[in-house]
């Protein structure tokens, strides 16, 4: 099984050249953890585990999204969510200007601050950020989205979404040097200075790469990549570089993004990426020990 160089060997996880010191020189040993927001996730268990790890000296950067909260808030505000399917079958949220504002309120105003509040109660000196703050996450806004509807492809030009291409780690470094635990949410910032909806898994992967992190953990409501989804006993336990492409083809739906995030991070120099289960106790510690699908 060879790596298809075109698909994942050019990960956009480098830091911009103006960043100063070499990426990762302050941040070796950091662990980037992305927490999913779907049903079944034991948020209390996650926070307690984070608090234990921080107390024992592990340096963490936490990343999260806010998709569920965005959907709920959009419905309450009478601007219900629309999901687009690309010609390749990828599903994404239609992010018009109004949805972008709702997305920011949900991610930044609700989910991020609840996480920070909860972690602080457990003694973690957490600081919330979005990808805008300090120019942390920069990506190109997709100037043209193709969406398939009833077999017809239409083109959408006013969407506010894109993928993180550069990570300026300075704000994370400043906070970590001060002993704080950064908790980061979308949006990212486009190269034109607009906020953009961005996939938090991919952003977490790019962040881990730019920091030269020792591990990237992507935790959600499945045990990892399943050979025969949804059969949990078919968990793929480990994949080395030569197998990343096959892993991407096996993965279903949103798991494809996680595999792309994890494999890109490993190719960018992160020692190990783990796609793990957030529904268990000690979910971070378990993933750190290699429970889940390990990419290395």
Which residue lies nearer to a copy of itself by CB, 80 or 193? 193
Q: State whether residue 251 is helix, strand or coil.
A: coil
Residues 115, 116, 119, 122, CA torsion sign: negative
Which residue lies nearer to a copy of itself by CB, 82 or 174? 174
Q: How far is the CB of 20 from a copy of itself (least distance, A)?
A: 10
The binding site for a copy of itself (CB under 8 A) comprises 73, 76-78, 101, 104-110, 112-113, 116-117, 120-121, 125-130, 132-135, 170-171, 173-175, 177-180, 189, 193-195
Q: How far is the CB of 239 from a copy of itself (least distance, A)?
A: 37
Q: How far is the CB of 134 from a copy of itself (least distance, A)?
A: 5
Which residue lies nearer to a copy of itself by CB, 11 or 186? 186
Which residue lies nearer to a copy of itself by CB, 138 or 218? 138
Which residue lies nearer to a copy of itself by CB, 19 or 285? 19
Q: Residues 6 or more apart from 199 whose CB is under 8 A from it?
A: 65, 163, 186, 257, 261
Give bridge partners of residue 276 from the DSSP assignment.
219
Q: How far is the CB of 41 from a copy of itself (least distance, A)?
A: 20
Distance CA 30, CA 11 (A): 20
Which residue lies nearer to a copy of itself by CB, 104 or 264? 104
Q: How far is the CB of 123 from a copy of itself (least distance, A)?
A: 10
Q: How far is the CB of 127 from a copy of itself (least distance, A)?
A: 4
Helices H / strands E in the chain, number of each? 10, 16
Q: How far is the CB of 18 from a copy of itself (least distance, A)?
A: 11
Task: Provide the strand spans (E) within 17-144.
Answer: 31-35, 60-64, 83-85, 91-93, 126-130, 137-141
Q: How far is the CB of 176 from a copy of itself (least distance, A)?
A: 9
Q: For helices 97-104 and 67-76, what crossing angle results, to 10°?
A: 120
Contact predicate 272/292, CB 8 Å: no
Distance CA 60, CA 295 (A): 19
Strands 152-156, 145-149: parallel, antiparallel or unpaired by DSSP? antiparallel
Side-chain-side CA neighbours of 150 within 13 Å: the count stands at 0
Distance CA 112, CA 92 (A): 21
Which residue lies nearer to a copy of itself by CB, 107 or 225? 107
Which residue lies nearer to a copy of itself by CB, 64 or 256? 64
**Kind plus residue range of the DSSP H or E element containing 249:** helix 244-250
Question: Phi and psi (nearest 5°) for 30?
Answer: -75, 145
């Amino acid at each position: 099984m060879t790596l298809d160089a075109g698909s994942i060997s050019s990960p956009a996880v480098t830091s911009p050249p103006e960043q100063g010191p070499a990426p990762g020189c302050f941040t070796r040993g950091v662990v980037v953890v992305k927490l999913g927001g779907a049903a079944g996730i034991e948020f209390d268990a996650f926070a307690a585990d984070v608090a234990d790890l921080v107390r024992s000296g592990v340096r963490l950067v936490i990343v999260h999204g806010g998709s569920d909260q965005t959907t709920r808030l959009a419905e309450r505000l009478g601007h219900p969510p629309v999901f687009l399917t690309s010609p390749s079958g990828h599903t994404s949220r239609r992010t018009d200007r109004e949805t972008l504002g709702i997305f920011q309120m949900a991610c930044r105003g609700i989910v991020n601050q609840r996480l920070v509040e909860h972690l602080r109660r457990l003694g973690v000196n957490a600081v919330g950020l979005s990808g805008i703050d300090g120019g942390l996450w920069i990506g190109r806004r997709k100037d043209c989205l193709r969406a398939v509807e009833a077999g017809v492809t239409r083109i959408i030009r006013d969407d506010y979404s894109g993928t993180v291409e550069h990570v300026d780690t300075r704000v994370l470094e400043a906070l970590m040097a001060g002993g704080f635990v950064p908790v980061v949410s979308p949006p990212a910032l486009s190269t034109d200075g607009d906020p953009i909806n961005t996939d938090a898994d991919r952003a977490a992967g790019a962040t881990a790469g730019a920091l030269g992190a020792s591990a990237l953990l992507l935790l959600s409501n499945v045990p990892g990549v399943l050979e025969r989804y949804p059969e949990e006993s078919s968990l793929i336990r480990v994949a080395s570089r030569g197998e990343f492409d096959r892993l991407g083809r096996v993965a279903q739906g949103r798991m494809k993004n996680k595999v792309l995030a994890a494999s890109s991070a490993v190719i960018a120099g992160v020692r190990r990426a783990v796609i793990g289960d957030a529904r268990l106790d000690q979910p971070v510690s378990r993933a750190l020990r290699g429970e889940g699908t390990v990419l290395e």
